[in-house]
Structure formats: structure tokens, C-alpha cells
Amino acid sequence: MKILVVDDFSTMRRIIKNLLRDLGFSNTQEADDGLTAFPMLQGADFDFLITDWNMPGMQGIDLLKAVRADAKLASLPVLMVTAESKRDQIVEAAQAGVNGYIVKPFTAQTLEEKIGKIFERIDA
């Protein structure tokens, strides 16, 4: 499974990549904001997108909306991992079609749980 990890902080990308490798997902790529991520998504067959919200350039919420608006990418599972924790933000992300929402700081267990749930629901 090919996963794109989008976060403007390289330390957080490394953390998420390492956690994913621990969970058995070693085919990951990185982008530092929505503007670089979106062409990558369009150009390659990613199976899963993990994105931050607050990034310079293009924010994660706008990336999510762009993905849902793109015919080819519309059904791509998207997990948000972000420090944004206002209720209306979570509602906004849900309405935009996010598949899971994790608030930072998070644990390895939370990530595993949410990814598991997302694919459970997709497989069902």
C-alpha cells in the first residue's frame, strides 16, 4: 500500500513514517504542504493520504476538498493528523469528507486504531 504523508514539519513526517513502518507500511512518500502534495497524488497511485491541517501554501482542509473534487482521487481515504482541535474544524473536515481525524499530540496506538478502522470500513 502506497501512502502519502503531508506535514510542513519534517520531524512530524518522520514520526508518522516510522510509525507506519512499524505497522507494516513501508511504501511512503512525503510532501510539505497541499501545493506539493496534490500534483503527487494526481501523478501516482496512492492508496492512502495522511495530512496535517495547518500548513503554508495550501492547507490540509483545502487539500482534502481538492481531493474530493477530483474525479480520479475522490474516493482516496484521507486521515487528518493535526493540532487543530476546534469543534467547527472537525465538523468542517467531516463535511468535506475526511475518513479519520486525529488530534496532536497523539499516540502510536491511536494511529494504528484509526488506520485500522478506516480500512475496515472501506473493506466492508
Q: How far is CA 92 from the centre of its chain?
A: 15
**Nearest one of 60, 56, 50, 55 to 96, comparing CA atoms:** 60
Between 44 and 91, CB nearer to other proteins: 91
Between 43 and 105, CB nearer to other proteins: 105
- CB-count exposure of residue 112 (10 Å: 0-12, 13-18, 19+): middle
Q: Which residues bind other proteins (CB under 8 A)?
A: 7, 9, 11-12, 14-15, 18-19, 22, 53-54, 59, 61, 83-92, 94, 101-108, 110
Least separation, in Å, of the C-beta of 44 and other proteins?
25
Least separation, in Å, of the C-beta of 72 and other proteins?
25
Between 72 and 121, CB nearer to other proteins: 121
Least separation, in Å, of the C-beta of 43 and other proteins?
27
What CA–CA distance (Å, rounded) separates 17 from 15?
A: 5
